[in-house]
Structure 1
């Protein structure tokens, strides 16, 4: 079962991923404790929106603000709504996705995702801006010059496209999603935003009854 992989499909600027984060953190800890030798956890960026310098349309801004309020109401997730007054929103997440790929090379992928989310949702900073991402990278110990060089490298772009294409091939409904790959079969895992036990039960069932 060493080739069994749980894919967490996400985008660092996905607000529902931010809402799911506490449950996902607990689920990860449980999986590492119970299936450390049987299961590999991999993050997969799905890419919500390609690079753009255009301001986000007003209708989309209003829709996303409503989504933030909905997540806060349903899950108790904290948001800093000053973002919509202090920043120029853009529908552009690929830069943040590439940033997590660069951070992965330093063993800092989860820390980078968490830092991007905190900057965006708690500190009203814009992760669509290179300055925000460079600042986060340096705070995590990645030199700014190396970070920018790797961020713009063709290998990073190729990895992003590879992950987006893989995400499109998996049985997912959106972000975040969980998919368990076992014996070359892809199993969608139920994702409950407040009950990590739901996903764990699915994973345990598959791992205890591996396909032939």
Structure 2
């Protein structure tokens, strides 16, 4: 039976945005193991911040902007800081997570994930707003009306919350996180934001 590599993320996690280029390289490096049915990659939504209509406090805004600067300096990641002038930020990532959950049913989870990141970090749009998420859905080829209905269904049935509880049960409490499940063993894989090779070796060793 194939082992499972869980990638736990939040589409509004700035460190996940910084990790994206290295994560893509790691997935390419793992393709041989996937093709041989030795490994399955399973995305899992982490859920940084619950639904909220409350504007983000000033201290949180300052802290997050400082984080963006840190990631930009350390990793060379691009950010559009106009976001902080053009929006009323909210500490609410569950809607963006639900959008990825909905897109998963269409085989478009990663496309939605990336569309949200681009809208947020490059185009200064607010993914806490449903209208932004609908635009992302349309960008990847989903119908707006069907997407809105699916988002409401996921919220009503607390489907995202079930997945977040599963992530917490696996002790995947920071984002991005990687963990390999083989049989009844769970092996955390340390994140390297700049080099996929150390993670590749850790995964191969755990296998």
Structures share fold, TM-score greater than 0.5: yes
- The alpha carbon displacement at 1:190 in A equals 1.4
Q: Could you tell me which runs of 5 or more consecutive residues in structure 1 were left unpaired when the two chains were aligned.
A: 208-212
Give TM-score scaled by structure 2 length: 0.96
Other-structure match for 2:123? 123
Structure-1 separation of matches of 2:167 and 2:34: 24
CA offsets, 1:59-88, max 9 Å, x none? Answer: 000000000000000000000000000111
The farther-off stretch of 41-50 and 156-165 is 156-165
The DSSP-based 3-state class of the residue aligned with 2:181 is strand
- The alpha carbon displacement at 1:139 in A equals 1.5
Other-structure match for 1:30? 29
CA contact (8 A) 1:78 1:122 kept: yes
- The alpha carbon displacement at 1:5 in A equals 0.7
* Structure 1 consecutive aligned stretches of length 4 or more whose deviation exceeds 6 Å: none
Cα distance 1:171–1:154, how it changes in 2: closer, same or farther (>3 A)? Answer: closer
- The alpha carbon displacement at 1:166 in A equals 1.2
Other-structure match for 1:210? none
- The alpha carbon displacement at 1:133 in A equals 0.3
CA contact (8 A) 1:17 1:176 kept: yes
CA contact (8 A) 1:98 1:156 kept: no
Count of matched residue positions in the alignment of Structure 1 and Structure 2: 206
Structure-1 separation of matches of 2:156 and 2:101: 7
Q: Could you tell me which runs of 5 or more consecutive residues in structure 2 were left unpaired when the two chains were aligned.
A: none
* Corresponding position: 1:51 with 2:51: yes
Other-structure match for 1:204? 204
Structure-2 separation of matches of 1:35 and 1:114: 22
Other-structure match for 2:105? 105
- The alpha carbon displacement at 1:24 in A equals 0.2
- The alpha carbon displacement at 1:156 in A equals 7.2
